[in-house]
Amino acid sequence: MSIGKHIVTAALAFALLAAPAVAARAALEVVATIPELAAIAREVGGAKVRVTSIAQPNQDYHRVEARPSDVARLSKADLFVRVGMDFDQWADALLGAARNKRVSPGGPGYVDASARIKRLEVPTERISGASGDIHAQGNPHYYYDPGCGKVIAHNILLGLRRVSPGDAATFDANYQRFVAAIDAAMPRWQRAMAACKGTPVVTYHKNWVYFMNRFGVREFATLEPKPGIPPSPAYLRRLIDSMKREKVKAMVVETIYPKRFPEFVARETGARLEWAPYSIGVLGTQDYLSFVDRIVQAFQRACQ
């Protein structure tokens, strides 16, 4: 009798001890559309989350082919984080197929990271598909700017607090730490980017509009005549002529793009061409801060 009672007590005690441990181990499932949002979600979620990205590093984020495993992951997700501004529209079909109300628009686990971002390059007239422009709601590449990185982190923080209010204090502390790390790095980035202040720079796609705006860099032109449209020989010739005329000497291009166009233009103009990462995970970058560091380094070298 007393042995039996002991077993029950022991089992009960074990159950009481085990239950919180199990709950603590069950991380929240976070699915982000691109690696940069995933990296920031990892910062804010810390040990409480398991984060995956649908787009892989150096996959053109404008055109992502979804995999069946993405639907499975979304169907179990607690939080979904997207760029918004019609950029990652390819995720809508996945969301529909996943049938997970929690992470669908209006659900507690749905995070549009563009909320409260001050949009740049919003078209004043309606863009027709024929123009080839793929930035119909304004420039969606705000995630390259570390100032916007803090806004993204805050949007993710609000989402995490909604889906797991019990962990709010942990998320708040992680968020504060991430913001403090960006604030601490900003003077270093500003100093390095001083070499580029007011300097005209040629890029490939309009990825760094927010980033360049932050650091006072002037975008002279892009190798693409319009976002998503590769350059024609005639366009390149005009670009080379105008770079020579205006004495433009700096080019920064992400390694994802065809090398032949920027290399040709650099050869013809004598401009200094530097390569930068398109995604976290490329060129030795591992997290958001090292990613910004690497982009800053490329601009600094190009502007020397």
Report the DSSP pairing between strands 218-222 and 200-203. Answer: parallel
Compare residues 132 and 147 and give the one whose CB is closer to Zn ion. Answer: 132
**In angstroms, rounded to a whole number, what is the distance separating the alpha carbons of residues 278 and 283?**
9
Question: The tokens 């390149």 sit on which residue?
Answer: 236
Region from 45-53, 149-157, 226-234, 294-302 binding Zn ion, contact rule CB under 5 A: 226-234
Q: What minimum distance in Å lies between the beta carbon of 209 and Zn ion? A: 9
Among residues 120 and 179, whose Cβ is nearest to Zn ion?
120
Q: Of 138 and 227, which has the nearer Cβ to Zn ion?
A: 227
Residues composing the chain:
304
Min CB(206)–Zn ion separation in Å: 6
Interface segment toward Zn ion; rule CB under 5 A; list 116-124, 220-228, 251-259, 272-280 = 220-228
Give residue number: closest CB to Zn ion: 227
Site for Zn ion in 15-34 (CB under 5 A): none
Phi/psi-derived region of residue 86, left when phi > 0, alpha when psi is between -120 and 50, beta in every other case: left
Only one of the segments 69-77, 185-193, 221-229, 278-286 lies at the binding site for Zn ion (rule: CB under 5 A); that segment is 221-229
Question: 62-86 as b/e, with b when 16 or more CB fall inside 10 Å?
Answer: bebeeeeebbebbbebbbbbbbbbe
Instruction: With beta carbons less than 8 A apart as the criterion, state whether 79 and 163 touch.
Output: yes
Cβ atoms of 27 and 171 closer than 8 Å: no
Spell 5-35 as b/e; 16+ CB within 10 A means b. Answer: eeeeeeeeeeeeeeeeeeeeeeebbbbbbbb
On whether the CB atoms of residues 165 and 215 are closer than 8 A, the answer is: no
Cβ 142 to Zn ion shortest distance, Å:
11
CB of 139 to Zn ion, least distance (A): 7
CB of 127 to Zn ion, least distance (A): 13
Residue among 72 and 122 whose Cβ is closer to Zn ion:
122
Identify whether the C-beta of residue 219 lies closer than 8 Å to the C-beta of residue 201.
Answer: yes
Residues in contact with Zn ion, shown as a per-residue x/- string from 141 to 170 under the rule CB under 5 A: ------------------------------
Q: How far is the CB of 287 from Zn ion (least distance, A)?
A: 23
Which of 227, 277 has the CB closer to Zn ion? 227
- Residues of the shown chain interacting with Zn ion in the complex, contacts defined by CB under 5 A: 227
